[in-house]
Amino acid sequence: MKYLQYHWKSRTFVVLAISILVSILLISLELTDWAAQINQQGYSHGSEGGEGKGIPSALRYILPFVKELVLIGVPLLLSLLLMKVLRWLRRAKKA
């Protein structure tokens, strides 16, 4: 529990800042012509054909977790990387 309370404000700020940066990047991606073209074409997977051509049933349970991995995992990994680089720079400065 001590470790969770150690510099919690700075850690929370770093995670929130990187999450906001990733969100801004995703919003800017949504506004591109590429995304507009994808939205215009629509989702056509499985619209034609029978039952056998759809998404496999296992993927129906796995794909929702991909969203969480991207939206939570990427900012987490970027935060950890940034904190390690800052710690390394701080140690190099002291030496």
Phi and psi (nearest 5°) for 11? -65, -45
Reported as a single tens digit per residue, the pLDDT across 6-18 is 778 888 888 888 8
pLDDT in tens, 10-56: 888 888 888 888 889 888 988 999 888 888 877 655 555 544 456 77
The residue range of the domain holding 27 is 14-38+57-95
Domain contains 9 = no
- Mean pLDDT score of the chain, rounded to an integer? 80
Q: How many domains does the chain have?
A: 1
Q: Global pTM?
A: 0.47
What is the per-residue burial (b if ≥16 Cβ within 10 Å, else e) of 68-77?
Answer: eeeeeeebee
Structural domain contains residue 72? yes
Q: 92 lies in a domain?
A: yes
Asked if residue 24 belongs to a domain, the reply is: yes
On whether residue 90 sits in a domain, the answer given is yes
